[in-house]
Amino acid sequence: MADYFKMSSEERQSELEQLRKVYQEYQSKQLQLDMSRGKPCTQQLDLSMDMLNPIDYHTETGFDSRNYGVLEGLPETRRFFAELLDVQPEEIIVGGNSSLQMMYYLIDLGCRRGFVDSPRPWSQEETVKFICPVPGYDRHFRVTEYFGFELIRVDMTENGPDMDAVEELVQDPSVKGIWCVPLYSNPDGYVYSDETVRRLAAMKTAAPDFKIIWDDAYCVHHLTDEPQHTLNILQECRKAGNELRPLIQCSTSKITFPGAGVSAVAADEKNVTYILKNMMPMLISYDKMNQLRHVRYLKNKQGVLEHMKKHRAILQPKFELVKETLQRRLTPCGKVAWWTDPKGGYFISLYVEDGCAKRVVELCKQAGVVLTAAGAAYPKEYDPNDHHIRIAPSYPTLEELETASELLTVCVRIAVLEKLMQ
Ligand SMILES: Cc1ncc(COP(=O)(O)O)c(C=O)c1O
């Protein structure tokens, strides 16, 4: 193998022919592998099955959690999430089985009613704009797109969103918020620096009701011996007099069971009171039996961190395998691609030569390996450089992942050679 960018056209032709033969061999294997969504694998799901053993559903105060009531969440569950997110129990609302649903609810609330600090509901504004750091979590973007907002792209850097761009954008009063995944961002695995957090907290926004949706989905999902942390956004906002700005999210989806976990919002008490008042017409209580099961099983932050070590033991070798394969197969070909090296979370970003991502995903698909659609991590699924591919190593077995990663590298090499030979 040699640098594709330095090869003669004859050399490229011969390399391509060889790779096409390898590719055909993969095709003949009729693979059916999926690296598309960040789902825990069966072994990970098995880790939490003991949580479903029968328990006494009376809370620490003797309240029967099997019945209606306590919309804000059981006291022990509020305490549990408060410790996890480093806030006070009164600053927590324990939600249902999905933080995404909670985020949707909050955006909906902004539209219908506005927030405590809104001059009017967002739906009465001529335009509502939302900042989307890219690449980012596709489902965030879909929520704000669904409500008809204009999605403003800002580039992600290793330290978080490009803050110079963010600070300029928030001079516009129609810019009402920003999506953030501060720790082990989806999909790059980046961690917001202290400076980024401080600037987000302190920046002057033209909209008085600007909101930071702080999605701490991966707050305990470490993959190395160097657990990363971010500054506490609520504290930093409070220091700057902007305590109503952050709406913090998390859930146990990737701690226990996706779709059957418990979510939580953390925010200033004024926001908590206002959100609860607006939730009241919608429901009497979330699933408190599940709240209690979770607290009894995981106990506290220390318990969660111990549990997450078991996840890490399953996940880390998968991440290592993907990175090692990319390194071994792609580095000798020159700058055909680069990839991120996350210290936690669920994803690796693979950046291929501009104009090749769609082709790579298509080639993988035709050989039986499903990847997230190219461009999926961008608003309206449009990656202007057509270079980004999100890799989710968690779900396949190590053996499947090995095959899928090898095939992926073959597809990257074919796509780049095809481009260079055009
Ligand atoms: C950043 C981020 N937020 C939220 C979610 C979904 O969380 P939940 O299951 O709590 O709705 C995911 C799932 O992949 C995610 O990556």
Expressed in angstroms and rounded, the spacing between residue 137 Cα and the centre of ligand 1 is 8
Max CA separation in the chain (angstroms): 79
* Residue with CA at minimum distance from ligand 1 atom 13: 38
Indicate the fold that domain 4-44+306-420 takes in CATH.
Aspartate Aminotransferase, domain 1 (3.90.1150)
Q: What is the pLDDT of residue 148?
A: 98
Q: pLDDT by residue (tens digit) across 11-46? A: 999 999 999 999 999 999 999 999 988 999 999 999
Domain covering 57-299 in this structure, CATH number: 3.40.640.10
Q: What is the pLDDT of residue 81?
A: 98
Q: pLDDT by residue (tens digit) across 352-405? A: 999 999 999 999 999 999 999 999 999 999 999 999 999 999 999 999 999 999
Query: Of all atoms in ligand 1, which is nearest to the CA of residue 100?
Result: 11
**Res 58 pLDDT > 90:** yes
Expressed in angstroms and rounded, the spacing between residue 326 Cα and the centre of ligand 1 is 26
Percent with pLDDT over 70 in the chain: 100
Cis amide leading into 379 (omega within 30): no
Q: What is the pLDDT of residue 37?
A: 83
Q: How high is the mean pLDDT of the chain?
A: 97
Query: Of all atoms in ligand 1, which is nearest to the CA of residue 218?
Result: 1
Q: pLDDT by residue (tens digit) across 170-194? A: 999 999 999 999 999 999 999 999 9
Cα–Cα distance list, 277 to 179, 288, 350 (Å): 24, 19, 44
Q: What is the pLDDT of residue 36?
A: 87
Q: What is the pLDDT averaged over residues 191-213? A: 98
Question: Given ligand 1 and candidates 186, 230, 294, 395, which is best to mutate, with the most ligand atoms within 8 Å of its CB?
Answer: 186
**Res 1 pLDDT > 80:** no
* Residue with CA at minimum distance from ligand 1 atom 14: 38
Q: pLDDT by residue (tens digit) across 132-141? A: 999 999 999 9
Q: For residues 74 and 55, is the Cβ–Cβ distance under 8 A?
A: no
Q: In terms of Cα–Cα distance, which of 207, 132, 123 is closest to 172?
A: 207
Sheet holding 92-94, edge to edge: 92-94, 263-266, 246-251, 211-215, 175-180, 129-134, 150-157, 160-161
Q: Whole-structure pTM over 0.95, yes or no?
A: yes
Residue ranges lining ligand 1, Cβ < 6 Å: 38, 98-100, 137, 181, 186, 215, 217, 251, 253, 258, 263
Q: For residues 394 and 318, is the Cβ–Cβ distance under 8 A?
A: yes
Does 4-44+306-420 match 57-299 in CATH topology? no
Radius of gyration of the chain (CA): 23
Which residue ranges make up each domain of the chain? Answer: 4-44+306-420, 57-299
Query: Of all atoms in ligand 1, which is nearest to the CA of residue 101?
Result: 11
Question: Given ligand 1 and candidates 36, 100, 181, 220, which is best to mutate, with the most ligand atoms within 8 Å of its CB?
Answer: 100
Q: What is the pLDDT averaged over residues 146-156? A: 98
Query: Of all atoms in ligand 1, which is nearest to the CA of residue 346?
Result: 16
Question: Given ligand 1 and candidates 94, 213, 251, which is best to mutate, with the most ligand atoms within 8 Å of its CB?
Answer: 251
Expressed in angstroms and rounded, the spacing between residue 139 Cα and the centre of ligand 1 is 8
Q: pLDDT by residue (tens digit) across 210-240? A: 999 999 999 999 999 999 999 999 999 999 9
Q: What is the pLDDT of residue 15?
A: 97
Query: Of all atoms in ligand 1, which is nearest to the CA of residue 251?
Result: 10
